[in-house]
Amino acid sequence: MTDTPTPAAGLRPLHFTIAASAGAARAGLLTTPHGTIATPMFMPVGTQATVKALAPDDLTTLGAQIILSNTYHLLLRPGPEVIAEFGGLHRFMGWEGPILTDSGGFQVFSLGHLRALTDDGVRFRSHLDGREVALTPERVMQIEAQFGADIILPLDECPPYPCDAQTMQRATERTHRWAARALAAKVRPDQALFGIPQGGMLAELRAWSAATISALPFDGFSIGGLSVGEPKALMWSMVEATVPALDPARPRHLLGVGSPEDLVEGVARGIDLFDCVLPTRVARNGGLYTPTGRVNIRAARWGAVQEPVMPGCDCWTCQRFSAGYLHHLARAEELLYYRLASIHNLRFLLRLMTAMRAAILAGTFAAWHDDFLARYQPASEKLREEQRAKWLARHGAHPDRT
């Protein structure tokens, strides 16, 4: 049983057209069996078949056009067989739009000592109950076929940061071998399969991996192995080494990147799709986006503010509630806060994507890019590292990055 329509014979499961470009930035349309996505676009992350604190109708109202769910977590709970019995992931979670499922490769990488990699695949112990689980490129294709997402990713090896050149080379070569096996094992014609270029933090290896993956008949590309702790300047240099070697006619997705300034910089470098847990995670911890940077709504200065946290914002949170009320809810750890904060942050990012698309179509993206970055003050590298250290202290080496 499946709720995903099978295309007519000879049709591909995905169609991508580029409507306009501005330098490397592109505005396009990505058509899938469950709808068309106007790119560039940010994908809210519904790791366990839900975007935390939000219902599908919330996401539709916010302007979300595609969401990402995680193969690793859904494999462990509730399991692909259960989801298949419900008719696939769309019906299981009540989301009618497009879905991308990742391979779980990053989560397996995060398990560290709990996993063992071989050329055949990876064996790991569940962080939930300790049982041993084995994944191969073929098994991942089978699982994602049961999920029925519109876009699926193959098993890959994400090298750690930092690591030596030999480790990066070995992981990249293994990712290439697994990519070929995934293509051979893909079973559903209504699913698009994106290849994953790796290459660690070596520009030459990145370019080689991109060219190798681009030579294979993937429907698009999901650039992996970045935003894993490296400095932002290094991340962007690796993106710049990757993108030119990818077929420009196919869509490009940058895995795990989602702060406002990174979305702007990524679009400027030719990225079409993004995903990240950051907007909802920082929302739950008191961080709310504004045009000049992220603010901490828990701070005492917000307690008496009767205006919305971002005057002029069109999200339901800002239209209905004061910053002082959000401050109260956050300090009291009321459940309503998590919903209201997540609504605001996701609407901010999705509106940002719409603005970038409009600027590309209008031929004004370069000026728009410079104006945004002149106004927006990102969190400092030091602050990000401190926040990451606090998060790791709370959660340990847990692969749930939601």
The residue assigned the tokens 């090896």 is: 157
Q: 150, 156, 262, 275: which one is catalytic?
A: 275
The fourth-level CATH superfamily of domain 15-276 is: Queuine tRNA-ribosyltransferase-like (3.20.20.105)
Q: What is the spatial distance between Cα 361 and Cα 370, in angstroms, rounded to a whole number?
A: 17
Note the helical H segments in 203-334. Answer: 203-214, 232-242, 260-268, 278-284, 316-320, 323-332
Answer yes or no: 102 catalytic: yes
Q: Residues, the chain, total?
A: 402
Determine contact, residues 252/213, Cβ cutoff 8 Å: no
The gap from C-alpha 233 to its chain's centroid, in whole angstroms, comes to 20
Q: What pTM value is reported for the model?
A: 0.93
Which residues are registered as beta bridge partners of 192?
151
Could you tell me if residue 158 is left (phi over 0), alpha (psi between -120 and 50 degrees) or otherwise beta?
beta
- The pLDDT value recorded for residue 395 is 46
The whole-angstrom separation of Cα 134 and Cα 136 is 7
Print burial letters for 177-214: b (CB count within 10 Å at least 16), e (below 16).
ebbebbbebbebebbbbbbbbbbbbbeebbbbbbebbb
List pLDDT tens digits, range 370-382. Answer: 999 999 999 877 6
Q: What is the pLDDT of residues 32-45, one digit of tens each?
A: 999 999 999 999 99
Q: Which residues contact 359 (CB under 8 A, 6 or more apart)?
A: 22, 365, 367, 368, 369
- All structural domains of the chain with their residue ranges: 15-276, 283-383
Confidence at residue 400, expressed as pLDDT on a 0 to 100 scale? 47
- Per-residue confidence (pLDDT) for residue 90, from 0 to 100: 98
Pick the closest to residue 323 from 292, 294, 301 (CA basis).
301
Report the chain's C-alpha Rg in angstroms: 20
Q: Any residues with CB less than 8 A from the CB of 34 and at least 6 apart, and which?
A: 4, 90, 96, 97, 98, 99, 150
Question: What percentage of the chain has pLDDT greater than the value 70?
Answer: 91
| pLDDT computed for residue 311 by the predictor | 97
* Active-site choice (58, 102, 150, 219): 102
CB-CB contact of 344 with 289 (8 Å): yes
Q: Residue 354: what pLDDT?
A: 98
Q: What is the pLDDT of residue 387?
A: 58
State the pLDDT at residue 385. Answer: 65
pLDDT of residue 352: 98
Which residues of the chain are modeled with pLDDT < 70?
A: 1-11, 113, 382-402
Classify residue 156 by burial, with Cβ atoms within 10 Å: 0-12, 13-18, 19+.
Answer: buried
Contact 396, 110 (CB under 8 A): no
* Phi, psi values for residue 16, rounded to 5°: -125, 130
CA distance 90 to 69: 11
pLDDT of residue 388: 57
Instruction: State the pLDDT at residue 104.
Output: 81
pLDDT given at position 145: 98
